[in-house]
Amino acid sequence: MYLEIITPEAILFSSEIDSLSVPGVDGEFQMLNNHAPVVSNLVEGTIKIHVHTKEHQEFNQFNGHYESHIDDDNILIIAIKSGTLELNENKVIILAD
């Protein structure tokens, strides 16, 4: 699955991933490869990106606005205030605030 996280300032993340968990309006939900198409609003919380390797470690902060870290299980965690998500044909686009 391919993920892009876009903010008003720049593209924060753009890469192949294994899976993704996001803070939806009705609670956190996860998407895997070949998931059905989804459009959802996101609320304040964390995006959890299951990445292949720790090569994404360099993603740390963007202008001090977006906090992130990668844990021992190769999960990149990014805090957001809100956003919108679209998943279609194994491509996820998140417009984040």
Residue 34 · residue 90 · CB < 8 Å: yes
Task: State whether the Cα torsion 61-73-17-90 is positive or negative.
Answer: negative
Per-domain residue ranges of the chain:
2-96
* 23 token code pair: 């803070």
Neighbours of 29 (CB within 10 A): 15
* Residue pLDDT, tens place only, 56-92: 544 544 445 556 666 667 888 889 999 999 999 999 9
**Highest CATH level, class, for 2-96:** mainly beta
Quote the DSSP letter at residue 72: T
Residue 89 Ramachandran class (φ > 0 left, ψ -120 to 50 alpha, else beta):
left
pTM recorded for the entire structure:
0.83
Quote the DSSP letter at residue 74: S
- Pairing mode, strands 2-6 and 91-96: parallel
pLDDT at position 81 is: 94
